[in-house]
């Protein structure tokens, strides 16, 4: 909405007569005049010998000039600019992406790189955090996993505490984009389950080469005791042996 103030010499004037119903910021000139009258503002005082008719006509000409300026400005506003004006009036600037940080998790080190989420997702509140991780505290305190990655570990663990109607344990889908560190997060989820005596895991991947990345991620978070075994190296008759904690499948 575009609003235009009256000229300075009219701000404290008593409006004697106004014709028409020109809209200014949702209030007509007539309504504006009534507001001025109700405020008991002092009247315009003209020196002796002033041509009142000419003075009033001059005042009306200036009001009409203001009216024309407002109309020209309004006509020049494009639909896109009008939307931007409305957004600013609401105190909100529309953006496609906004910076992301865990909203319900109150501990953990910041993620080393900037991470964003779609603005539409910002309005969706995540579940409450009630789970206390079982992984060693130094993994969190030393920033081996960031608060963002820890958030996924906690939400996955909260799901793993639930069981489906068929008796199987509930799962968790991690949908982070490239570069967030999903491998480190998956390693931490496996480590969390390992600490809870759930010591069997299968890591599915698209490449045998990523087995070394999985080993690196486990090593970096301090889970050196978890050995990664390629499926093509495992003897099938012995795949349930205790030392086969994590099987890497392509």
Residue extents of the structural domains in the chain: 8-89, 97-198+212-218
**Among the ranges 49-58, 63-72, 92-101, 202-211, which has the highest mean pLDDT value?**
202-211
> How remote is the C-alpha of 204 from its chain's centroid?
32
Read off the pTM: 0.60
Q: Is the pLDDT of residue 242 over 70?
A: no
Q: How far is CA 153 from CA 100, 105, 108, 134, 191, in A?
A: 17, 11, 12, 11, 10
Average pLDDT for the chain: 77
Q: Is the pLDDT of residue 167 over 50?
A: yes
| Residue 209: per-residue pLDDT | 86
């Amino acid at each position: 909405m575009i609003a235009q103030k009256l000229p300075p010499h009219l701000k404290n004037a008593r409006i004697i007569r106004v014709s028409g119903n020109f809209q200014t910021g949702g209030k007509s000139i007539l309504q504006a005049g009534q507001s001025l009258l109700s405020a008991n503002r002092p009247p315009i005082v003209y020196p002796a010998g002033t041509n009142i008719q000419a003075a009033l006509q001059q005042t009306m000409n200036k009001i009409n000039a203001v009216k024309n300026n407002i109309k020209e400005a309004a006509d020049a506003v494009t639909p896109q600019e009008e939307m931007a004006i409305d957004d600013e009036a609401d105190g909100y600037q529309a953006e496609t992406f906004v910076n992301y940080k865990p909203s319900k998790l109150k501990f953990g080190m910041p993620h080393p790189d900037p991470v964003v989420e779609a603005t539409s997702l910002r309005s969706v509140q995540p579940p409450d955090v009630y789970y206390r991780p079982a992984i060693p505290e130094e993994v969190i305190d030393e920033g081996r996993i960031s608060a963002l990655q820890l958030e996924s570990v906690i939400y996955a663990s909260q799901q793993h505490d639930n069981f489906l109607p068929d008796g199987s344990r509930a799962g968790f889908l991690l949908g982070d984009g490239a570069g967030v560190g999903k491998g480190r997060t998956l390693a931490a989820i496996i480590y969390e389950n390992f600490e809870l005596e759930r010591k069997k895991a299968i890591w599915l991947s698209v490449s045998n080469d990523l087995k070394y990345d999985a080993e690196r991620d486990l090593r970096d978070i301090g889970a050196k005791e978890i050995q990664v075994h390629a499926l093509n190296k495992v003897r099938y008759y012995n795949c349930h042996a205790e030392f086969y904690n994590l099987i890497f499948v392509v």
